[in-house]
Amino acid sequence: MPRVKAGRPGLQLGELWKGTKLTTRNELLRESSRVSLIAASAFAVTLCGAAGAKAEEPIKLGLSGYMEQFFGYADNDTDQDHFDQKSDTEVEFGGETTLDNGISFGAAVVLNGNTDNEEQIAESYAYVEGNFGRGEIGSRDNAAAIMQYAAPDVGIGLNDGDVSDWIENTTSSDADSAFESTFLFLGEDKANKITYFTPRFSGVQVGVSYIPEFERDDNAQPAEDLYENGFAVGVNFVETLGEVDVALAAGFLTASAPNGGDDDAEGYSLGFNLGYAGFTVGGSYAHTEGNAGAGTDTATSFDGNGYDIGVAYAWDSAAVSLSYLHGEVEGLVGTDGDDENDTVMLSGSYGIGPGVDVIGSIFATEYDGDAADSSNEGWGVVTGLVLSF
């Protein structure tokens, strides 16, 4: 079966420990700070308990990742109409060892093969996993984003995908808000954090992240100039009920404004996927509040809402999908109206061998900015080769 992605290309979202036999408490988490304290305590107790246990063998390095090579044509209202070839590559180096008490320790470093800035390391984190669940520490997406589900797509990606690589986004808004994504980022940008996931019990799993400071993925001490003391909570339910595969998700993210600034960061999200007889129907919604630049850009507001809806059908080695996304946020503060994004995408994919897929997308996008001369619309046709390893 071809892969039907519920969200961003290259990520398998909300699939942590699906189908495992782990059992634990199924209490719903009420307060993010309280849960983080409990998670940190459990994490510390686990490390102490593992101190006397020995691994059967040391950590061995493994390699995985994907490469996407695209070729396509895009027509913009702005003067950017032409063919182009684009790439998206991620390589993950990871290793894991299991102690004789059954507790596993591991590490992962994800490299960007194609980037337009100096960020070559996309993720870097360590983890410990056992019957108690899983704890992570380092640079990775927050729990609310990881556990979200969204409209399915088998092409270049609609929700936080690659559309703006082809159709120029002339507005002041982007995927940090609900303008282009229903995944809760709010500009935290995979900052260093501590995350804990419970085991999946009766289909339910909960994750919580503590983010000391947004955009901080280095060893500099926090200076209280960015969003700080952030908490993210995600919960999803993944189960097969009769002949229907069901996935439901909800998330929440909040952080305090820097130096008593104007607006705290806050957002919540909902998402679902339903699968039956090769069909997958899915959608999601997000509400976001805050300012760009991790709270430093008070002239750009994240306040607004976004949603997507879509359907996919997979048979043999082929799949097709049709999906739509709408986002509307304030954008530039003090201007009339909002930044709006409307995108519709028809995609197809065909698996020609293990880890080898040919994909294609036809899409139309309208970016309507609230500032003068900040609107653009266009359409594109893109095909590509996806190699997973």
For the chain, domains (ranges, CATH) are 32-388 (2.40.160.10)
In the prediction, which pLDDT does 3 show?
A: 46
In degrees, to the nearest 5, what angle opens at C-alpha 79 toward C-alphas 75 and 80?
Answer: 55
Evaluate whether 255 touches 228 at the Cβ level (below 8 Å): yes
Evaluate whether 74 touches 165 at the Cβ level (below 8 Å): no
Q: Tell the burial category of 23 from Cβ atoms under 10 Å away from its Cβ (0-12, 13-18, 19+).
A: exposed
Cα Rg of the chain, angstroms: 21
In the prediction, which pLDDT does 381 show?
A: 98
In the prediction, which pLDDT does 268 show?
A: 98
Evaluate whether 341 touches 177 at the Cβ level (below 8 Å): no
In the prediction, which pLDDT does 320 show?
A: 98
Evaluate whether 330 touches 339 at the Cβ level (below 8 Å): yes
SS3 category, 299: strand
In the prediction, which pLDDT does 55 show?
A: 58
Which residue bears the tokens 């997406």? Answer: 141
Spatial separation of the C-alpha atoms in residues 67 and 69, rounded to whole Å: 7
Q: How many Cβ atoms sit within 10 Å of the Cβ of residue 289?
A: 20
What secondary structure does DSSP assign to 142-204, as a single string? -HHHHT-----BSSS-TTTTSHHHHS---SS--TTSTTT-SS--TT-TT-EEEEEEPPPBTTE
Spatial separation of the C-alpha atoms in residues 124 and 107, rounded to whole Å: 8
Evaluate whether 322 touches 294 at the Cβ level (below 8 Å): no
End-to-end Cα separation, the chain, in angstroms? 17
Give the count of alpha carbons within 13 A of 256, CB side only: 10
- Taking alpha carbons only, the member of 101, 90, 97 closest to residue 127 is 97
In degrees, to the nearest 5, what angle opens at C-alpha 104 toward C-alphas 119 and 20?
Answer: 100
In degrees, to the nearest 5, what angle opens at C-alpha 166 toward C-alphas 116 and 309?
Answer: 110
In the prediction, which pLDDT does 359 show?
A: 98
In the prediction, which pLDDT does 117 show?
A: 64
H/E segment holding residue 255: strand 244-256
Size of the chain in residues: 389
List the chain pLDDT tens, one digit each, 389 residues.
Answer: 444 444 333 233 333 333 322 222 223 223 333 333 344 444 554 555 555 566 567 888 899 999 999 999 999 998 877 899 999 999 999 999 999 999 999 999 999 887 766 678 889 999 999 999 999 999 999 999 999 999 999 999 999 989 999 999 999 998 899 999 999 999 897 899 999 999 999 999 999 999 999 987 777 787 778 899 999 999 999 999 999 999 999 999 999 988 756 789 999 999 999 999 999 999 999 999 998 888 888 888 999 999 999 999 999 999 999 999 999 999 988 888 899 999 999 999 999 999 999 999 999 999 998 887 889 999 999 999 999 99
- Taking alpha carbons only, the member of 197, 146, 182, 212 closest to residue 42 is 197
Which residue bears the tokens 């976001």? Answer: 288
- Taking alpha carbons only, the member of 81, 83, 230, 220 closest to residue 145 is 230
